[in-house]
Amino acid sequence: MDFDDTLDATGLLCPLPVLKARKRLGGMSSGAVLKVVADDPAAIIDVPHFCAEAGHDLLDQAEADGAQTYLIRKG
């Protein structure tokens, strides 16, 4: 899937991946897609919850090599 921007949040612990995603999405147009890469185990819960609460669409969630990847469409 295509995306418009990437946020590398590896090495950051809760709540920083979500806070940085919120800030990055704030500067993007509605409908744009942000790819977030994180390795914080709490991100598995935090990112989907953030999307639901903020009105963004979580398009995809995957895990490989100890990191999670999320594709978020700005609502």
pLDDT tens for the chain, residues 1 to 75: 899 999 999 999 999 999 999 999 999 999 999 999 999 999 999 999 999 999 999 999 999 999 999 999 999
Structural domain of 55: 5-73
**Could you list the active site residues?**
14
* Alpha carbon 19 to chain centroid, angstroms: 10
pLDDT value, residue 23: 98
**Which CATH number is 9's domain given?**
3.30.110.40
- Specify the pTM: 0.95
- Give me the number of domains the chain comprises: 1
